[in-house]
Amino acid sequence: MEFALSEEQQELAATVRALLAKRADPRAETYDEALWRMLCEQIGVAALGIPEEYSGAGFSLFEALVALEEVGRSLAPSPLLSSLVASEALLAGASEDARHRLLPRLAAGEVAAFAEGTDARDVLDGDLASVLVIATDDGLFEVGDAERAWTPSMDQTLRLARVRTDLASGTRIGDGPAARDRASLVGAVGCAALAVGCAARGLEMTVSYSQERVQFGRPIGSFQALKHRMADMYVRLEMARSASWAASYAVAHRTDDAERLAHVAKAHCGEALAHIAAETIQLHGGIAITWEHDAHLVFKRAHALGQLFGAPHEHRAAVTL
């Protein structure tokens, strides 16, 4: 692939960014239903990676992840990642009948959640989703009746839940292991995309603050030592973006190296964001450890994404196996 977005993909990113800049609230603890409806109806973010035969937009997972990166930049709560994971799990493991029945609902913007096993923790949007699919070794199930409980977490904009069911009310709709494998890959590259967007936001707010904050009669951004630190943040961001795009393309097009690149991206982007988040806090000074400034949102998102769908050391270990 070329490590650059096409003109159409750039326009998609700019459109999503503009809408989120106007309407997103990064301090909200759950997603804005009106904003989500606008993203789905005006831009079609939930339908981007779903084939036209299932009422989708007929693009690819890569375009959906381009939109997800912009969601990460906004820091706002959104069910886009959970819906992407669920839709890709259905495409990989569900029967044709189940795809035709469920994917149009996801393309239209219904929130979906994917869980592994009958007692699953840390299920993204598991307590809010109207479509719930569960993968076990025995199959992929659509579940209507399940015990769902919100799980408090450091970053409450990434809403997690515990989902328990005995599958008595579930309907077997396909291959559980195939859906689970696809969901793991998509979750990893989805977290990488969110991490890149969040890192970009951290760098942007740091550079902006360094131009405004005056010390010793000069903007602190004019001090060479701080210039070097922000330049290092930029380098880490661009390296992370390259890793994310490479993995997103590979997973979207199911290339032979997709699994390896997904592991690399999840590990590298998570660690890059952790560094950039720490520098964002440090370079903002005392204001960054107050609730009044958004720097703490970058810091919390970094820690959450570092664990969601596997910690960096787990993905590095997977590459070396």
Collect all residues with Cβ–Cβ distance below 8 Å to 247 and sequence separation of at least 6: 188, 189, 192, 258, 261, 262, 264, 265, 266
pLDDT at 270 over 60: yes
pLDDT confidence of residue 2: 54
Which region among 136-140, 144-148, 190-194, 224-228 has the lowest average model confidence (pLDDT)?
144-148
pLDDT confidence of residue 48: 97
Note whether residue 71 is domain-resident: no
Note whether residue 89 is domain-resident: no
Domain residue limits at 306: 178-320
Note whether residue 222 is domain-resident: yes
Tokens linked to 75: 């820091």
Note whether residue 103 is domain-resident: no
pLDDT confidence of residue 263: 97
Note whether residue 215 is domain-resident: yes
pLDDT at 169 over 90: no
Note whether residue 82 is domain-resident: no
The model's pLDDT over 234-257, given as tens digits with 9 standing for 90+, comes to: 999 999 999 999 999 999 999 999
Structural domain count, the chain: 1
Do 49 and 68 form a contact (C-beta atoms < 8 A)? no
Note whether residue 70 is domain-resident: no
The model's pLDDT over 30-63, given as tens digits with 9 standing for 90+, comes to: 899 999 999 999 999 999 999 999 999 999 999 9
pLDDT confidence of residue 4: 83
- Band of residue 320 on the pLDDT scale cut at 50, 70, 90: confident
Q: What is the mean pLDDT of residues 97-116?
A: 98
Is 149 strand, coil or helix?
strand
Note whether residue 247 is domain-resident: yes
Tokens linked to 137: 């070794």
Rounded to an integer, what distance in angstroms lies between the CA atom of residue 226 and that of residue 28?
32
Q: What is the mean pLDDT of residues 84-110?
A: 98
Helices (H) and strands (E) in the chain, counts: 10, 9
The model's pLDDT over 173-212, given as tens digits with 9 standing for 90+, comes to: 999 999 999 999 999 999 999 999 999 999 999 999 999 9
pLDDT confidence of residue 317: 94
CA-based torsion, 49, 55, 47, 100: positive or negative: negative
Rounded to an integer, what distance in angstroms lies between the CA atom of residue 188 and that of residue 201?
20
pLDDT at 29 over 90: no
Tokens linked to 101: 């029945």
Rounded to an integer, what distance in angstroms lies between the CA atom of residue 82 and that of residue 88?
10
- Band of residue 230 on the pLDDT scale cut at 50, 70, 90: very high
pLDDT confidence of residue 116: 96
Q: What is the value of pTM for the model shown? A: 0.96
Q: What mean pLDDT value characterizes the chain? A: 95
- Band of residue 290 on the pLDDT scale cut at 50, 70, 90: confident
Domain holding 219: CATH number? 1.20.140.10
Tokens linked to 92: 């990989």
